[in-house]
Amino acid sequence: MCEHCGCGLPGAEPVTISDHHHEHEHEHEHAHSHDHDHPHEHSHGHEHDESAAAGEERRTIEVRRAILEKNNLLAERHRGFFRARGLLVLNILSSPGSGKTTLIEETIRRLESRLKTGVIVGDLATDNDARRLRASGAPVVQINTGTVCHLDSQMVGGALKQLDLTGLQLLIIENVGNLVCPASYDLGEDLRVVLLSVTDGEDKPLKYPPIFQSANAAVISKLDLAEACDFNRDMALANLRRLAPAAEVFELSAKTGQGMEAWCDYVLQQHQAAKTRDPLSV
């Protein structure tokens, strides 16, 4: 696969373009405040002289390819790989601090004798989460993205090479804490699980529509703190229903154990369904 755009053809060394995995200049993005909600008219770039110079013959190449095609193709390749191994794969998404790692820790602990689980966890820096998760006995690989705000399939592919997949039945991918960018990157998962902690506020789904709309399951976490936060449960559920009416909703506290059984049963059920599914089905 061409490493620059994901097409199937080999390429010669191109002009200098900084590899986006290593050099990030995010600073100027944040200098602008953008309103994401209003549709834009055509925006044209530079004015340019249409008159052809001597010997210049312009032609149009129809491309019609997704810009994120490279990621999408790799994600599908991984998806096929996971299915062939009967592996159930979860992509866990949320704001930073909503309880992803704790949920995963507790899930592994409770499913220990029933589902062999491995974890790939993404953070900008540190291996704190990997260390915590390893204490549960599961094989864990930490991805440090540097400055990249989401996991993509290329990173997951790299982590898979380091993960001992022997006998694994469940793979949990803990994404970078971010409610915006991870939504656009298919990781080859079976299920997208989006966490909303009671401390996040019941209107989060309305503020971050794309990620909640893509959820197969929504988890309201840190239930033990609901009263202290004056969490409006009805409103949160209504908002989740509005964005993702088909998503399974779980309310739990990984800390106290409340609601964890229903969540673990769901994971087991999904694994059963994955086992009996035809790996070649679309």
Partner 1 sequence: MHELSIMQGALNQALCEARQSGARRIHEIHLRIGVLSGVVPDALQFAFEAIAAGTPAEGAALTIENVPARFWCAACEREFEAANFFAECPGCHACGGELRAGRELELTSVVID
Nearer to partner 1, 26 or 161 (CB): 26
Q: Is residue 34 within the footprint of partner 1 (CB under 8 A)?
A: yes
Q: Give the shortest CB-38-to-partner 1 separation in angstroms.
A: 8
Q: Which of 77, 136, 144, 209 binds partner 1 (CB under 8 A)?
A: 209
The verdict on 17 binding partner 1 (CB under 8 A) reads yes
Question: Taking CB under 8 A as the criterion, which residues in 124-153 touch partner 1?
Answer: 148-149
Q: Does 243 bind partner 1 (CB under 8 A)?
A: yes
Does 282 participate in binding partner 1 (rule CB under 8 A)?
A: no
What is the DSSP code string of 81-138?
Answer: HHHHTT-EEEEEE-STTSSHHHHHHHHHHHHTTT--EEEEEEESS-SHHHHHHHTTT-
DSSP category for residue 144 = E
Residue 271 in contact with partner 1, rule: CB under 8 A: no
Residues 6+ apart with CB under 8 A from 43: none
- Least separation, in Å, of the C-beta of 41 and partner 1? 7
Please list the residues that pair with 142 across neighbouring strands. 121
Q: How far apart are CA 255 and CA 105, in angstroms?
A: 10
* Residue 96 touching partner 1 (CB under 8 A): no
Contact residue for partner 1 among 22, 51, 65, 170 (CB under 8 A): 65
276 lies in the binding site for partner 1 (CB under 8 A): no
Among candidates 110, 127, 103, 130, which has minimal Cα distance to 119? 130
Q: Which of residues 210-229 bind partner 1 (CB under 8 A)?
A: 210, 213
Among 246, 276, 278, 282, binds partner 1 (CB under 8 A): 246
- 139-161 b/e with 16+ CB inside 10 Å = b? bbbbbebeebbbbbbbbbbebbe
Question: Residue 142: in which H helix or E strand, if any?
Answer: strand 140-144
End-to-end Cα distance, the chain: 23
Residues, the chain? 282
If the CB atoms of residues 4 and 114 are measured against partner 1, the closer one turns out to be 4
* Touching partner 1, residues 143-202 (CB under 8 A): 148-149, 180-181, 183-184
Q: How far is the CB of 53 from partner 1 (least distance, A)?
A: 9
Cα 81 vs. chain centroid, distance in angstroms?
18
Please pick, from the candidates 22, 43, 54, 166, the single residue that binds partner 1 as defined by CB under 8 A: 43
Phi, psi (deg, nearest 5) at residue 249 = -115, 135
**Is residue 22 at the binding interface for partner 1, with CB under 8 A as the rule?**
no
Q: Which residues contact 15 (CB under 8 A, 6 or more apart)?
A: none
Q: Does 235 bind partner 1 (CB under 8 A)?
A: no
Instruction: Please give the size of the binding site for partner 1, defined by CB under 8 A.
Output: 65
Q: What is the binding site for partner 1 (CB under 8 A)?
A: 2, 4-7, 9, 11-12, 14-17, 20, 24-26, 28-29, 32, 34, 36-48, 52, 56-70, 148-149, 180-181, 183-184, 206, 209-210, 213, 241-246
